[in-house]
Structure 1
Amino acid sequence: MFVGIASFDVVRMKTSQRVGDQEERLMLRDQQVFPVAARLLLTLCLVGIVLETHGSWSGAVAAEMQVGAAMDRDPERQLPARQRYFSPQLKSLWVAALGRPDTELQLQAAQTIARAHHLGMPGLEDAIEPLMTRLGQTNVHPLVREACANALVALDARQAAPLLFHHWRNSENDLAALVEPALARWRYEPIRKVWRNRLQDSQSGGSRLRYAMAGLAMLEDEVSGTRLLEMVQQPLGMPVRLRAAQALAELRRQDLETTARRLMADANIPARLGRLLAVTLLKHHRGAEAQKLLLEMTGPREDPVVAVRALSRLFDLDPGAAARIARETISSPDARLRSMSIPILETRADATTVRLLVAVLDDRHPRIRQVAREGLLRLVEAEKSLDGVVRERTVEMLGTDRWRGQEQAIILLVALQHRQSAGRLVQLLDAPSPNVFRTAAWGLRELRVPGALPAMLRKAEREVEAGLVTDMDLEVDVQVSYLMEAFGLAAYRPAEPLMRKCIPKKFTMGSEVRAAAIWSLGHLYAGQTPRELSAMLLDRLHDSGSNATMDLPAEEVTDESRPEVTGLGGPGMESMYAEVERVRCMCAVSLGRMGMKTMVEDIRKHYSGTTGAALDFACGWALQQLTGEPLPRPENVRQSLSNWFLEPLEP
């Protein structure tokens, strides 16, 4: 995993997402292969998997589409891997506690073994036999018995199935929730008869009936199909009928079309329930009749829950028909239906699909519009002839005043390297939405259009001058930092005076702007060893706050009391606080990039010889550039888990 040096950008980006309407997180996932990606993405939409990743479908495109600071990738820092560490003595202690006569020790030991296994502790299979021994003893407290059963299930102890089955039938506690799903997963044959009998018992209900239906489906018990079919059609509670339909769909993968049609037409049950039962029964069905029924359940007036399932199955059977339906469902009020329509539409690479997906760039749900943008990139990749249409439609969206669409359009046009949009991006530097003006600055940095640099400089000058007087807004800080990086990457000399203004410590000025300005000066003077400038940067690097505490009470010298956080900065206040670490890091990086070999020993004062901390990495990288000494690889961080109920005196 690679990250930038002391990066605050992710935090800033998350903060900015509060702008505008409160936005629902959508359950989608990016995939890499087209059109197989569409099918996988569609499946994830249906089951509702939530991802909080910033990954993309293609490594190359992902690198272009990550909105973030360039100084976080130059130089690139590899974080140390974190490894969980469990003392080798823990297991023997817990097993010993399990064998003690004290009930509390037994209970805690069994619970801890299950918890440690969940956290990734290896070698706990050795505890299976002691757990089975304790579970098999007489006069065991019911809570201990339940904890032992839970630990055995967590350890996937299939050899304990007979013992669990016995105690499940005779225990004072209800172990069904623990034992029955495990026995079904292990395909434990003796429980089949119990589940069959429960299915026939008209008094059965609740969770036990659900376990029986699910278990018989996993055991592929075709004999139960007749009873399940009866339960689907009987006037039972909706949860029971739906569970029965799910189990029946797994057991009978054909010849249920007639039943589905009857349920859809039955006036004696709610229409929504009848159609939901019908689409559930057709989960694995094929053929013309099944497709016809599925088409009937994907209309514009259909209940979204039914339509999502029907459209998913229809896509498996007839992608063309599903794509025609998706052209309507892409504008559905239901977020799940809109989200699953995107990968279906991608299978039809034409101008109509482009038009529909570009409109979704302005969707009110952030993940939907992100996936629509990535879908458009996949279309261009799969069908080069659509490149012009995608650009044209995206530029139209950029020209609107819809901030969601503008933000996604910028990212998409940058990925396509559409430099003709630079003029509009300059205009959007003053957009009312932080999402837009920040992304516009990032886009201009990535497109590197020389003609836009003067206007970018004027914008940066206005914001920096304001920041010298009043506290700079967080979003403006990020925006102007992107502009500063653009000047450095373009070696834009007219911006140098502005960059130099950002070197002195000024807490009303944003720390990102100052760090980016110093980073860019390193690019402007790469290999040129400027003495005056390097002395200014070295002064900032040395400012570690030796006089920061002065006469302040100890409780006031905290991160929360820093002027850039509280807004209490004023004339002379800067000297009371240490320099921001982000700025110090970029000073070290720029000194290394400028080739200041006379400052090697000064830089070494701030280097511990490892690269775990951000400043250590920056100084180590600078020394590597100046002396050629290798940058040590980050050592893995051993994260020792503690606070167990029983631990060794020495880890």
Structure 2
Amino acid sequence: MLRYNPTLSAAVRLLLPLCLLGFAFDGCWNGPHAVAADVQIMAAMDRDPQRELPARQRYFAPQLKSLWVAALGQPDTELQLQAAQTIARAHQLGMSGLEDAIEPLMMRLGQTNLHPLVRVACASALVALDARVAAPQLFDHWQTAENDLAAVVEPALARWKYEPIRKVWRNRLQDPQSRGSRLRYAMTGLAIFEDKGCVARLLEMVQEPLEMTVRLRAAEALAELRHEGLETTARRLMAAADVPPRLERLLAVTLLKHHRGGVTQELLLEMTGPREEPVVAARALSRLFDLDPDAAARIARETISSPDARLRLMSIPMLETLADETAVHLLTEVLDDRHPQIRLASRQGLLRLTQAEKHLDAVVRERTVEMLGTDRWRGQEQAIVLLVTLQHRQSAGRLVQLLDAPFPAVFRAAAWGLRELSVPGAFPAMLRKAEREVAAGLVTDMDREIDVQVSYLMEAFGLAGYRQAEPLMRKCIPKKFTMGSEVRAAAIWALGHLYAGQTPRELSAMLLDRLNDRGSNAMMDLPAEEVADESRPEVTGLSGPGMESMYAEVERVRCMCAVSLGRMGMKTMVEDIRKHYSGTTGSALDFACAWSLQQLTGEPLPPPEKVQRALSNWFLEPLEP
């Protein structure tokens, strides 16, 4: 007897519609450089201090609407076409007040001898504006126009439930000459109208030798209109042998979309077998889960290893309802799935199990540790994230080993995990790893992935107050192009934590030098007395002669210098920091300086300003914004 968990079931049911929507597979089957979908593997210095990003708003010049409406009234066909298309596009992009264009669009649509392209553009704009008042006019033009208006007008009239079109659709359904998209529009529209009078004809069309797209649309419409009594038809379709069986079975499972009862469940079970077409099995399994979660969960034990990614993803929430060791075992196996969405879903499912079923916590940890011990990089990455989320500190030893893993996704996650777990016994090994990479970075260009990894280690040292790493951190302060900018920024940020509130004079001078470094050309613009004043160590240049001194310091590094100076309490440098602050927090450097000044002087942080992004490149724009 399966153990059904109603709490989990309510949560996981919400996931199934997303599973049925399918995946965007482009770019998903990537190699070992892939990053798990929602993993918050990020720099600690990006959260400390926490920067509230300014709200971004699209800005539309107020003169645009009047210009486009005026263009719509011009005799030139090209202007009319561009104006109607632009009004629709601007509305979709969020421009408000375009309801004022409805009447001019209707007037243009009512013009005699209107160019067909302009007619379609005006109709499309009215539909985009949800101009229900234009329904009678659209209906009249649609009846007299060519087929080009059907795709625009018919779905809109169905959505608006414009009653006069119902009779047209009924007649079209009965006409044996009706074909293609217009027939499909009629079936969909009548289903939206909940027109029970077309049920008999739809049932005939499902079973007639018509185009498969027409039959499938008929089945979809019929399923919305009839929630019972179609089991016999479904069984007959499943048994058909005169056409490719998968097509008939797809029709059968579509008919049962809202059906209930023992016969329905029996048919659905038959369509979830291992040899079933995935598109059929996915629909059948989804409906079966609604009717009988236990039965669906039993099938999910098999479909979790299906070649079809959609079926595997659907199986995860079903297995969660089992809430037993078998489910944990199956879910930990798909932590290594090739599809990133499935890896993510399985990790989240395991986490939900530990939260809802305390007796499974130890089993989840044990199985996840086993995955961590394999050489399967996808599973290792997800196992790290899950174990760190569970604060499984016993995994620190394995994470240290994985710092030298061959795949960036794994060694980055391992460094992040060690930072989050902060196990004292792991710090010596972490320091040795960081020392090796920094030594190499002083000689040759540091790889970007290594740069990120070592930056997490630097952050770990700073957060834990690990003083043994201070000499290494100091090596990262001078500007060195071969050294990764993330490592340098993280080292400076970590030094700020080591010396929080201690006002170290020599170290602060080094950091201020980095903050002031805008390159040798920029230094020429500074007053000579500031550049040459050796009595103030905080403005004494540390960069020696050479090419590097010609280029400005990396902004990321400058930001962390400002943050650390504020954290260390260097009140003597307030005016030096203020030179780099514009008075707003629009840029990262401005925010860092503002935060630093807040720590040193108590000045409040200015609220983030709203950033307006003017949309331009319209076909017609005002000369002055």
TM-score (normalised: structure 2) = 0.92
Match of 1:134 in 2: 108
Q: 1:138 deviation in Å?
A: 1.7
Contact persistence 2:559–2:588 (CA under 8 A): yes
TM superposition outliers: structure 1 runs of 4+ over 6 Å: none
Match of 1:521 in 2: 495
Structure 2 residue 48 is the aligned partner of structure 1 residue 74: yes
Match of 1:125 in 2: 99
Match of 1:27 in 2: none
Q: 1:278 deviation in Å?
A: 0.5
Structure 2 residue 583 is the aligned partner of structure 1 residue 609: yes
Match of 2:252 in 1: 278
Bigger mean CA deviation after superposition, 166-175 or 344-353: 166-175
Give the secondary structure class of the aligned counterpart of 1:83: strand
Give the secondary structure class of the aligned counterpart of 2:336: coil
Give the secondary structure class of the aligned counterpart of 1:429: helix
What is the CA–CA distance in structure 1 between the aligned matches of 2:107 and 2:429, rounded to whole Å? Answer: 78
Match of 2:372 in 1: 398
Give the secondary structure class of the aligned counterpart of 1:207: helix
Structure 2 residue 59 is the aligned partner of structure 1 residue 85: yes
Match of 1:339 in 2: 313
Q: 1:44 deviation in Å?
A: 1.1
What is the CA–CA distance in structure 2 between the aligned matches of 1:625 and 1:171, rounded to whole Å? Answer: 70
Match of 1:565 in 2: none
Structure 2 residue 158 is the aligned partner of structure 1 residue 184: yes
Contact persistence 2:250–2:280 (CA under 8 A): yes
Match of 1:243 in 2: 217
Q: 1:571 deviation in Å?
A: 8.9
Q: What amino acid does structure 2 have at the position aligned with 1:171?
A: A
1:41-80, aligned counterparts within 5 Å?
Answer: 41-48=15-22, 66-80=40-54
1:155-196 CA distance string (max 9 Å, x none): 111111110010011124620000011111111111112112
What is the CA–CA distance in structure 1 between the aligned matches of 2:23 and 2:308, rounded to whole Å? Answer: 17
What is the CA–CA distance in structure 2 between the aligned matches of 1:297 and 1:306, rounded to whole Å? Answer: 7
Q: What amino acid does structure 1 have at the position aligned with 2:15?
A: L
Q: What amino acid does structure 1 have at the position aligned with 2:208?
A: Q
1:46-77 CA distance string (max 9 Å, x none): 0237699xxxxxxxxx9x95111000100010
What is the CA–CA distance in structure 2 between the aligned matches of 1:317 and 1:51, rounded to whole Å? Answer: 30
Q: 1:646 deviation in Å?
A: 2.1
Bigger mean CA deviation after superposition, 163-172 or 594-603: 163-172
Match of 2:29 in 1: none
1:301-340, aligned counterparts within 5 Å?
Answer: 301-340=275-314
1:400-439, aligned counterparts within 5 Å?
Answer: 400-439=374-413
Structure 2 residue 550 is the aligned partner of structure 1 residue 576: yes
What is the CA–CA distance in structure 2 between the aligned matches of 1:646 and 1:463, rounded to whole Å? Answer: 56
Match of 1:489 in 2: 463
Q: 1:416 deviation in Å?
A: 0.2
Contact persistence 1:370–1:408 (CA under 8 A): yes
Q: 1:136 deviation in Å?
A: 1.4
Q: 1:547 deviation in Å?
A: 2.5
Q: 1:460 aligned to 421, 431, 434, which one?
A: 434
Q: What amino acid does structure 1 have at the position aligned with 2:256?
A: L
What is the CA–CA distance in structure 2 between the aligned matches of 1:35 and 1:591, rounded to whole Å? Answer: 51
Q: What amino acid does structure 2 have at the position aligned with 1:273?
A: L
Q: 1:302 deviation in Å?
A: 1.1
1:377-388, aligned counterparts within 5 Å?
Answer: 377-388=351-362
What is the CA–CA distance in structure 2 between the aligned matches of 1:309 and 1:172, rounded to whole Å? Answer: 37
1:391-445 CA distance string (max 9 Å, x none): 0100000011111100000000000000000001011111111111111000000
Q: What amino acid does structure 2 have at the position aligned with 1:495?
A: A
Q: 1:461 deviation in Å?
A: 0.5
1:579-630 CA distance string (max 9 Å, x none): 1110010001000000000011111111101100011110111010001001
Match of 2:33 in 1: none
Q: 1:266 deviation in Å?
A: 1.4
Contact persistence 1:65–1:412 (CA under 8 A): no
Match of 1:298 in 2: 272
Distance 1:172 1:367, change over 3 A: closer
Match of 2:348 in 1: 374
Q: 1:546 deviation in Å?
A: 4.0
Contact persistence 1:610–1:632 (CA under 8 A): yes
Q: What amino acid does structure 2 have at the position aligned with 1:336?
A: R
Structure 2 residue 155 is the aligned partner of structure 1 residue 153: no
Give the secondary structure class of the aligned counterpart of 1:84: strand
1:220-259, aligned counterparts within 5 Å?
Answer: 220-259=194-233
What is the CA–CA distance in structure 2 between the aligned matches of 1:245 and 1:103, rounded to whole Å? Answer: 43
What is the CA–CA distance in structure 2 between the aligned matches of 1:121 and 1:476, rounded to whole Å? Answer: 45
What is the CA–CA distance in structure 1 between the aligned matches of 2:545 and 2:284, rounded to whole Å? Answer: 67
RMSD, aligned CA: 1.8
Match of 1:636 in 2: 610
Contact persistence 2:520–2:549 (CA under 8 A): no
1:422-571, aligned counterparts within 5 Å?
Answer: 422-547=396-521
What is the CA–CA distance in structure 2 between the aligned matches of 1:536 and 1:37, rounded to whole Å? Answer: 53
- Runs of at least 5 residues in structure 2 that lack an aligned partner in the other structure: 1-6, 27-35, 525-543
Contact persistence 1:540–1:587 (CA under 8 A): yes
Match of 1:599 in 2: 573
Match of 2:180 in 1: 206
Q: 1:43 deviation in Å?
A: 0.7
1:336-392 CA distance string (max 9 Å, x none): 000111111112211111111100100011111011101111111111111101001
What is the CA–CA distance in structure 1 between the aligned matches of 2:102 and 2:23, rounded to whole Å? Answer: 33
Give the secondary structure class of the aligned counterpart of 1:77: coil
What is the CA–CA distance in structure 2 between the aligned matches of 1:593 and 1:95, rounded to whole Å? Answer: 57
Count, aligned residues: 590
Contact persistence 2:566–2:595 (CA under 8 A): yes
What is the CA–CA distance in structure 2 between the aligned matches of 1:35 and 1:607, rounded to whole Å? Answer: 53
Contact persistence 1:82–1:636 (CA under 8 A): yes
What is the CA–CA distance in structure 2 between the aligned matches of 1:174 and 1:478, rounded to whole Å? Answer: 54
What is the CA–CA distance in structure 2 between the aligned matches of 1:321 and 1:548, rounded to whole Å? Answer: 72
What is the CA–CA distance in structure 1 between the aligned matches of 2:81 and 2:400, rounded to whole Å? Answer: 66
Distance 1:593 1:51, change over 3 A: farther
What is the CA–CA distance in structure 2 between the aligned matches of 1:104 and 1:431, rounded to whole Å? Answer: 61
Distance 1:173 1:545, change over 3 A: farther
TM-score (normalised: structure 1) = 0.88
